[in-house]
Structure 1
Amino acid sequence: MVLTIPTIASVAPINCELNHHDDWEGVNTICHTIDNIVNVEMETDFFDGKSVLEIGFVTGLPSVYAFEAGADKIAMHTIDKTSLELYCKPTLKRNNIPLNKTKLSCGTMEELRKFLGGKKYDIILAPDLLNRTEAEFDTVHEIIHEGLSYDGICLFSCRTHYPNVDGSLTVFLQLVKRRREFEAIERWSSPRTDIIQQKVFQLTRSLF
């Protein structure tokens, strides 16, 4: 499967400050993980007929992959309109995704809740989901709980910690364990020799 992947430089305005290239690492790890699920683990029907929600650092690339791998509908919620215009819309346009199969939104976590409107998604893809303050983790957990279908799966990428915020993977996993609503499984990790590791985790509903 070949995606037309825009770089930040190719989609940003000429006068835009392009000093956030590592933001795309979380997107790349999610894309590699879902490609591995479909093409290596041979779960070729992983996205078939599914509804997909992309949150976190949203570019549209994971959603485009999901759609081209059989997803029925895709939805994306970015933190602001700039991300929507710079990343999501160009990605959808370059990959010829039908407008009637997409739903777009931007804004705060509360606006994301309104965007969900009670709808449940089969798959949630969330690059760099934990790049935020620890105080927001409860809301993040609640949104996944509200937005994920009973037998759905959430895949999120993150660093073990972030230099500019106090949130960390360890704290979030402790929250997940305490709430007992999801089972968390590590799907991928960068080498331990990395100063700050990148990881991809899977969340599914707890059976008990």
Structure 2
Amino acid sequence: MVVITPTLADVAPSNCELKLDSGRCIQYVAACDANPRKRVSDEELPISRKNSNGNEQREDWEGVNSLCHSLDNIVEVEMETDFFEGKTVLEIGFSTGLPSVYAFENGASEISIHTLSKTSLQLYCKPTLQRNNIPANKCKYSFGNLDDLRKALGGKRFDVILAPDLLNRSESEFEALHDILIEAMADGGICLFSCFTYYPKVDGTLAAFLALLKSRREFDALERWTSPKTDIIQRKVYQVTRSLF
């Protein structure tokens, strides 16, 4: 996962709001000006572009927006109103707490969030869940790399895994990431992840990860959403479930 070294002004917490197509709003806390957009839809998603001149942070947020929009579409448009009902949820990748808030407000029984750094956990993730009045006894937190994530899981399995920009990392990490999904996903569980088709600053690509899934034959992958083909780099949302064969 790419790590950006921010300035003090960049990390200052700010109250924000994301309005989805259904009219639902997610209140959250983020770095100043990290995600200025208040609305997300198929037509209004920002055009993907190559990372340069400090745009990485906003582009990461595009993945969160895309995933939240997809969740809203599943619940509100496809009418899978019980998608999160009574489910345990794990948020990994570029973790912000927004997907977890949406899951909890739609019936999730428990959420766990693993983020890259203790700073983002303390400044943004925890305040976001607190701002949405999610009970502390329903939340678990951890931070660090993939090894730290595996330790934090402690053998626990989850019904739903939500993973914004899960593939923004070196391809050499894909095997470990695949094994974590095997360990973390409950039988009958599902993972929804957002990603660019490729990332300019790392060698991990969507095509490489899908090829790995196909070769290992543990999971089936299905595209749930895609940004327009006119985007410089397309963004996708994929669904991963355990293979039936």
| TM-score, scaled to structure 1 | 0.94
Partner residue of 2:204? Answer: 167
Deviation at 1:23, TM superposition (A): 1.0
Q: 2:72 aligns with which of 18, 35, 40?
A: 35
Q: 1:87 aligns with which of 117, 124, 129?
A: 124
Q: Please say which of residues 1-10 and 98-107 is displaced more in the overlay.
A: 1-10
1:76 lines up with 2:113 in the alignment? yes
Equivalences for residues 130-149 of structure 1 within 5 A: 130-149=167-186
Q: Please say which of residues 81-90 and 139-148 is displaced more in the overlay.
A: 81-90
Q: For residues 157 and 18 of structure 1, do their structure 2 counterparts lie closer, same or farther at Cα, with a shift above 3 Å needed? A: closer
Distance in 2 (alpha carbons) for counterparts of 1:113 and 1:172:
19
1:2 lines up with 2:25 in the alignment? yes
Q: Structure 2 regions of 5+ residues with no counterpart? A: 1-23, 35-53
Question: SS where residue 152 of structure 1 aligns?
Answer: strand
Report if aligned partners of 1:5, 1:61 keep a CA contact under 8 Å in 2: yes
Report if aligned partners of 1:9, 1:18 keep a CA contact under 8 Å in 2: no
Cα-Cα RMSD = 1.5
Distance in 2 (alpha carbons) for counterparts of 1:24 and 1:86:
16
Partner residue of 1:44? Answer: 81
Deviation at 1:7, TM superposition (A): 4.0
Q: For residues 94 and 18 of structure 1, do their structure 2 counterparts lie closer, same or farther at Cα, with a shift above 3 Å needed? A: farther
Report if aligned partners of 2:194, 2:235 keep a CA contact under 8 Å in 1: yes
Q: Please say which of residues 175-184 and 75-84 is displaced more in the overlay.
A: 75-84
Deviation at 1:22, TM superposition (A): 1.3
Partner residue of 1:205? Answer: 242
| TM-score, scaled to structure 2 | 0.80
Equivalent residue letter for 1:181: E
Partner residue of 1:193? Answer: 230
Percent identical among aligned pairs is 63
Deviation at 1:6, TM superposition (A): 3.1
Equivalent residue letter for 1:128: D
Distance in 2 (alpha carbons) for counterparts of 1:147 and 1:201:
17
Deviations 1:92-144 (A, max 9, x none): 11111110000000011111011111111000000000000000000111101
The runs of 4+ residues in structure 1 deviating greater than 2 Å are: 5-8
Partner residue of 1:59? Answer: 96
What count of residue pairs does the alignment treat as equivalent? Answer: 203
Q: Structure 1 regions of 5+ residues with no counterpart? A: 12-16
Deviation at 1:86, TM superposition (A): 2.5
Report if aligned partners of 2:198, 2:205 keep a CA contact under 8 Å in 1: yes
